[in-house]
């Protein structure tokens, strides 16, 4: 049996017998024996504890007490058999269920829809493809190559089923356009012809310029190679040949300033006799330039049906309609200008919103909105994100044309002869992607290296034909070296360890008022299921393993732990506990009921004692005095050999009254997630209970960025799911720029706090979350 010397009014050598709530018959007989002592002695405890609180009792104290003891036995048995979910946990479960219902939706809009073909997991929405809506967006693949989108409804289809769409890899997606209108003005037409279709080594054409004319014609100027370079002018019109081919028919030809129509007719010479044009994208067929619609721009691949062409001085306007969408009905969340992407998994840099609901909108609503796909990272780094609590994401971007980097574009390279179009664009893009991924997926040297994933660069020609191609450029050489040095990629996971977290000078709340002030703490967030990401929305599915540090449990927060969480059950023996330090000891005031229910009112009680670390896991509160209704009771309890646990049985997950000591299990006493740490010391101070943890030398701590703020949370390595977004090999910095003191971070309520602030993404894919409320 356990012995203790908790009360200082008796000799330390005098034993106390511990109360076991599981030995019901034994405890029942002991209660009756103790009550007999109380009744027989008519002691001070009888007067203060029973008569004062139960003056209206119609039967004798002995009989009432005996009935109470019998009820207590039944109550204790019921409490041991079942532990109903506390209000905090129940509320969190309801919140999680709502969030999971959002993640489980299958988006549909304007007559087009997605479908779930695989189970929903923490890494996969199970949906292939995304709905895309766009209006008033100057969409560039790169440079001037692109088109002005007036309105569009499309589906983004991953090139590999089961894989996400990757913004950083345009070969990963095909755009199926269902309906819309787009315009190619002179600069875009010129870029397509001069920089893409015919800028390769050995090309028979150069210095191309395309100018749309009123009346439905195009004027194309340039140089053709006939032993030497000769100026050429072509005038004609655009039309469709079938569903897949766009045809430019030359009605008028000038060579070296001389009309050549009659001469060519007389000599039965066609344009394809003069120019050897036969590429994967364009070829000459008589006097017609026949172009493959799906390949008119570098990847991503476009599948669209052109139903009408209107050419004027302002450009060539295409009406697109594959017959599946009678009219575009804009979703309710569609921005006035920009793009909306819904459904499926879309990855950009380290982050992958799952079952995405994302709007791309311009910061400057008065200027043209240029979105450059191959340079989107620069736009994102110059913009910011906002979330709503349900996980919908708004990305606020500057126009690419407004960025200084847009004016510093390097000269256009020439494509390889084997490709027969300018494949340098995709080579440069894929080389840039491979370099970026080497950063995003790098595992720090301090961490054990599992395997480093990377981009698998894809040449443009391979995207068109399924074959590999030479690079023919410095970018291609770099691409080849990166290709040989990095293993294959998995977009849905990273090779790092479980996420590391460093918290510095933060009021860290788990739920409601329950939490700590963290002076400095290193920890690791470990998913309970190996291979899964840490889901911040589901605290029951991961543990926090403390690597080392120091925290303060403020007394109001500790009172909240009791009143809002540990005492959230009926019937209970303790109520409304308040804590404060007095002369280096902890004074606890509140109400008690004998055996959880007797008497029928809460008896004001005050205890005073010390808190000590029992071992590396447990804390023990040892009261040295107990007062009920202001009268000291410790001596009487000692005389009757009655431990506190017998009168006020209290056993809950993470805390139990054992004999005369209240024992805390710091691993489980708090709401989930489980906090695992090796206690070094516990000290009662005016500020709160100071807990110091021994450092685990087997785990390397996270390394916050240089120049970090005075108050922050830093998450590093591993995969973390926040909102509906999976962040791989995380680098996430959380701060509150509006608070010069300690930032407040609420684990259960982080969605609410983040939704009021802003998120920025660096070109390295790292996230900076600022909880400062943004201006509306």
8-state DSSP, 49: I
At residue 415 the predicted structure's pLDDT band, cuts being 50, 70 and 90, is: very high
Cα separation, 658 vs 644, whole angstroms: 8
Cα separation, 147 vs 139, whole angstroms: 6
Q: Minimal CA–CA distance to 175: which of 139, 223, 122, 216?
A: 139
pLDDT at 204: 95
Is the preceding peptide bond at 571 cis, omega within 30 degrees of 0?
A: yes
pLDDT at 450: 36
Contact 213, 221 (CB under 8 A): no
pLDDT, tens digit (0-9, with 9 covering 90-100), for 658-682: 888 899 999 999 999 999 999 999 9
Residue 665 tokens, joined: 């299990």
Among 125-139, 446-460, 510-524, the least confident range? 446-460
- The DSSP string of 50-90 is IITT-TT-SS-HHHHHHHHHHHHHHHHHHHHH--PPPHHHH
Among 52-66, 537-551, 622-636, the least confident range? 52-66
At residue 452 the predicted structure's pLDDT band, cuts being 50, 70 and 90, is: very low
At residue 627 the predicted structure's pLDDT band, cuts being 50, 70 and 90, is: confident
629: part of which helix (H) or strand (E)? none
pLDDT at 99: 95
pLDDT at 650: 85
At residue 512 the predicted structure's pLDDT band, cuts being 50, 70 and 90, is: very high
Cα separation, 765 vs 419, whole angstroms: 33
pLDDT at 573: 86
Q: What is the mean pLDDT of residues 682-688?
A: 95
CA distances from 81 to 21, 31, 74, 75, 652 (A): 11, 21, 11, 10, 12
The structure tokens 């036969």 sit at 278
Cα separation, 110 vs 535, whole angstroms: 33
Long-range contact set of residues 98-104: C-beta below 8 Å, sequence gap at least 24: 99/390, 99/391, 99/537, 99/724, 99/751, 102/355, 102/390, 102/391, 102/724, 103/354, 103/355, 103/391, 103/724, 104/355
Cα separation, 354 vs 182, whole angstroms: 29
Among 8-22, 30-44, 286-300, the least confident range? 8-22
Phi, psi of 766 (to 5 degrees): -70, 150
Q: What is the mean pLDDT of residues 391-400?
A: 97
Phi, psi of 26 (to 5 degrees): -65, -45
pLDDT at 776: 66
At residue 32 the predicted structure's pLDDT band, cuts being 50, 70 and 90, is: very low
Domain positions in the chain = 24-83+569-669, 424-485, 500-555+693-770
Residue 196 tokens, joined: 């893409």
Q: What is the mean pLDDT of residues 166-195?
A: 97
Q: What is the mean pLDDT of residues 119-130?
A: 96
The percentage of residues in the chain with a pLDDT greater than 70, rounded to a whole number, is 81
Cα separation, 723 vs 264, whole angstroms: 67
pLDDT at 635: 54
Q: Which residues contact 181 (CB under 8 A, 6 or more apart)?
A: 150, 151, 152, 317, 318, 319, 320
Cα separation, 351 vs 361, whole angstroms: 19
At residue 625 the predicted structure's pLDDT band, cuts being 50, 70 and 90, is: confident
Cα separation, 664 vs 518, whole angstroms: 19
Cα separation, 157 vs 747, whole angstroms: 36
At residue 280 the predicted structure's pLDDT band, cuts being 50, 70 and 90, is: very high
Cα separation, 203 vs 225, whole angstroms: 8
The percentage of residues in the chain with a pLDDT greater than 90, rounded to a whole number, is 69
Q: What is the mean pLDDT of residues 399-412?
A: 87
Annotate 415-475 with three-state secondary structure: ECCCCCCCCHHHHHHHHHHHHHHHHHCCCCCCCCCCCCCCCCCCCHHHHHHCCCCCCCCHH
Please check the confidence at residue 503 and state whether its pLDDT lies above 80: yes
Give the angle 247-248-253 at the CA atoms, nearest 5°: 150
Please check the confidence at residue 479 and state whether its pLDDT lies above 80: no
Is the preceding peptide bond at 300 cis, omega within 30 degrees of 0?
A: yes
Neighbours of 381 (CB within 10 A): 20
Alpha-carbon Rg for the chain, nearest whole angstrom, is 37
3-state secondary structure of 739: coil
Q: What is the mean pLDDT of residues 430-454?
A: 71
The structure tokens 């040949």 sit at 241
Cα separation, 634 vs 626, whole angstroms: 6
Residue 398 tokens, joined: 């500057």
pLDDT at 460: 44
- The DSSP string of 574-621 is EEEEEEEEETTEEEEEEEEEETTTEEEEEEEEEEEEEEEE-SSSEEEE
Is the preceding peptide bond at 414 cis, omega within 30 degrees of 0?
A: no
Contact 198, 190 (CB under 8 A): no
Please check the confidence at residue 15 and state whether its pLDDT lies above 60: no
Residue 133 tokens, joined: 């809506």
Contact 6, 624 (CB under 8 A): yes
At residue 38 the predicted structure's pLDDT band, cuts being 50, 70 and 90, is: very low
Cα separation, 110 vs 330, whole angstroms: 7
At residue 579 the predicted structure's pLDDT band, cuts being 50, 70 and 90, is: very high
At residue 272 the predicted structure's pLDDT band, cuts being 50, 70 and 90, is: confident
């Amino acid at each position: 049996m356990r012995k203790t010397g908790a009360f200082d009014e008796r000799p330390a050598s005098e034993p106390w017998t511990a109360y076991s709530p599981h030995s019901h018959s034994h405890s029942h007989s002991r209660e009756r024996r103790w009550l007999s002592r109380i009744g027989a002695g008519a002691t001070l405890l009888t007067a203060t504890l029973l008569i004062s609180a139960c003056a209206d009792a119609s039967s004798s104290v002995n009989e009432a007490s005996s009935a109470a003891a019998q009820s207590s036995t039944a109550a204790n048995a019921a409490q041991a058999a079942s532990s109903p979910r506390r209000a905090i946990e129940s509320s969190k479960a309801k919140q999680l269920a709502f969030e999971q219902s959002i993640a489980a939706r299958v988006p549909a809009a304007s007559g087009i829809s997605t479908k779930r073909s695989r189970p929903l997991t923490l890494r996969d929405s199970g949906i292939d493809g995304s709905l895309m809506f766009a209006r008033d967006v100057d969409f560039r693949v790169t440079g001037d190559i692109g088109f002005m989108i007036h309105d569009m409804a499309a589906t983004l289809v991953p090139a590999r089923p089961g894989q996400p769409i990757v913004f950083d890899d345009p070969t990963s997606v095909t755009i199926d356009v269902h309906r819309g209108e787009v315009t190619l003005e002179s600069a875009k037409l010129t870029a397509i012809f001069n920089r893409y279709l015919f800028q390769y080594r050995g090309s028979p054409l150069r210095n191309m310029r395309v100018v749309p004319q009123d009346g439905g014609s195009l004027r194309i100027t340039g140089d053709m190679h006939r032993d030497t370079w000769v100026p050429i002018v072509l005038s004609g019109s655009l039309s469709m040949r079938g569903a897949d081919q766009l045809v430019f028919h030359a009605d008028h030809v000038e060579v070296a300033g001389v009309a050549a129509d009659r001469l060519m007719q007389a000599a039965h010479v066609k344009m394809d006799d003069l120019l050897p044009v036969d590429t994967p994208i364009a070829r000459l067929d008589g006097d017609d330039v026949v172009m493959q619609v799906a390949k008119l721009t570098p990847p991503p691949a476009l599948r669209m049906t052109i139903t009408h062409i209107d050419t004027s001085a302002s450009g060539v306007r295409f009406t697109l309609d594959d017959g599946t969408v009678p009219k575009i009905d804009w979703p309710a969340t569609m921005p006035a200008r920009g793009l909306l992407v819904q459904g499926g998994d879309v990855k950009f840099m380290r982050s992958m919103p799952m079952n995405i609901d994302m709007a791309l909108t311009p910061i400057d609503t008065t200027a043209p909105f240029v979105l450059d796909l191959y340079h989107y990272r620069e736009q994102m780094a110059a913009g910011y994100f906002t979330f709503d609590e349900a996980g919908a994401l708004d990305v606020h971007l500057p126009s690419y044309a407004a960025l200084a980097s847009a004016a510093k574009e390097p000269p256009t390279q020439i494509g390889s002869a084997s490709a027969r179009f300018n494949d340098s664009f995709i080579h440069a893009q894929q080389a840039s992607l491979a370099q970026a991924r080497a950063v995003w997926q790098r595992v720090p040297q301090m961490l054990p290296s599992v395997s480093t994933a990377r981009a698998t660069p894809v040449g443009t020609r391979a995207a068109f034909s399924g074959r590999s191609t030479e690079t023919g450029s410095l970018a291609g050489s770099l691409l080849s070296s990166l290709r040989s040095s990095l293993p294959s990629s998995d977009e849905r996971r990273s090779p790092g360890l479980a996420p590391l977290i460093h918290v510095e000078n933060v009021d860290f709340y788990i739920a409601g008022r329950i939490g700590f002030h963290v002076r400095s703490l290193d920890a690791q967030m470990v998913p309970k299921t190996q291979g899964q990401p840490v889901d911040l929305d589901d605290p029951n599915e991961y543990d926090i393993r403390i690597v080392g540090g120091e925290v303060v449990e403020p007394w109001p927060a500790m009172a909240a732990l009791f009143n809002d969480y540990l005492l959230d059950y009926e019937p209970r023996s303790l109520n409304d506990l308040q804590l404060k330090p007095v002369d280096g000891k902890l004074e606890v005031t509140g109400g008690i009921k004998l055996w959880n229910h007797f008497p029928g009112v809460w008896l004001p009680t005050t205890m005073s004692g010390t808190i000590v670390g029992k071992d590396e896991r447990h804390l023990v509160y040892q009261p040295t005095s107990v007062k009920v209704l202001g009268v000291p009771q410790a001596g009487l309890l000692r005389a009757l050999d009655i431990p506190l646990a017998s009168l006020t049985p209290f056993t809950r997950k993470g805390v139990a009254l054992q004999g005369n000591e209240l024992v805390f299990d710091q691993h489980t006493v708090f709401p989930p997630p489980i906090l695992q740490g090796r206690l070094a010391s516990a000290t009662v101070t005016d500020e709160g209970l100071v807990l110091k943890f021994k450092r685990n030398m087997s785990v390397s701590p996270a390394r916050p960025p240089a120049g970090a703020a005075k108050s922050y949370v830093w998450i590093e390595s591993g995969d973390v799911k926040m909102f509906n977004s999976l962040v791989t090999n995380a680098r996430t910095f959380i701060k509150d720029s509006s608070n010069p003191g300690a930032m407040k971070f609420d684990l259960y309520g982080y969605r609410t706090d983040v939704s009021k602030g802003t998120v920025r993404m660096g070109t390295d894919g790292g996230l900076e979350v600022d909880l400062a409320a943004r201006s509306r």
